[in-house]
Amino acid sequence: MLIYRREMNRNRKALIIWTLVISGIAILNLLMFPDVAKQQAAIDQLIKQMPPGLIKAFGMDQLSMADPLGYYATKGYLMIILFGSIYAVMLAGNMLSKEHNEKTIEFLLSKPIGRSGIVTEKLLAVFTNLLIFNLVITAANYLGFWLAEAEFDLRVFLLLSAAPLLLHLVFASISFLLSSRMNKSRNIVSISLGLVFVMYFMDILSGVSDKLENLKYITPYEYVDAVEIVVSRSMNPIYIGIISAVILLCTIASYLIYQRRDIAV
């Protein structure tokens, strides 16, 4: 597990920075909840003046800002899924490609480890980093609710904590797949970031316009929608199955592609 330990050490600083920044913002956001709840009447009046499509897109027609989880779902949740996805693609996109950029792949393959072993240990490093990232943010959100003295449904809170991890793994697996085939990390990260933002805007458009509603089925953001989780108190099993299938297929494809990759390219 030398490669795994090396990757954990190399990515430690980025993990700490991303985790601390997002956790800090999450706690500050939740600390504002008591004040927001007290001004619910004024907020409701403000929401009524917004375009109906925009209200629907952000779930403000189904959730109340006076409810702790409703407040979190409409504010803090978006930051975690979006910025967490950015961190995921930047992490996974560099995993394999950097060995070719830095000309260290020949050294790795000279050791008693095959290509499958390299992919396995690097995938484990990606998963471990994302797991730690999400666990710390979950703890930060729980602390924020506790400091705000907000009572909430623990089951729904845990679902809202697990859903971002699934989304992050989807984008990480896609970015890792690109890394198994492409050499330049900058190109991989650029394509992956573009995918993150395009998919997000497609999700917004599907909520704003009825004519574009079908777009939601091709964006993973729809499958971890906070509004649906809070309202139904569950995650759609079909969506979980689709997410799992995407992660699995990208992982298998990464192994197959990297096995045939010309290391001299």
Tell whether pTM > 0.95.
Answer: no
Q: In the block, which residue shows the tokens 């089951």?
A: 155
Q: Is residue 152 part of a domain?
A: yes
What does the angle CA 83 – CA 236 – CA 54 come to, to the nearest 5 degrees?
Answer: 55
Per-residue pLDDT reduced to its tens digit, 109-139: 667 778 888 899 999 999 999 999 999 999 9
pLDDT, tens only, 197-226: 998 888 877 766 667 677 777 889 989 988
Residue 169 has pLDDT above 90, yes or no: yes
Residue 263's pLDDT is what?
65
Has residue 135 been placed in a domain?
yes
Where helices occur in the chain by DSSP H, the ranges are: 2-10, 12-31, 33-38, 40-48, 52-57, 68-74, 76-93, 97-101, 105-109, 115-147, 154-181, 185-208, 220-223, 226-232, 237-260
* 78-84 average pLDDT score: 93
- Tally of structural domains, the chain: 1
The pLDDT assigned to 258 comes to: 86
In a domain, 36, yes or no: yes
User: What's the pLDDT at 33?
Assistant: 85
> pLDDT grade, residue 183 (50/70/90)?
confident
Distance between CA 73 and CA 213 in Å, rounded? 21
More confident residue, 56 or 231: 231
Residue 254: domain span: 2-260
pLDDT tens-digit map of 14-29: 999 999 999 999 999 9
In a domain, 172, yes or no: yes
Specify the pLDDT at position 50: 62
Q: Is residue 219 part of a domain?
A: yes
Asked if residue 265 is part of any domain, the answer here is no
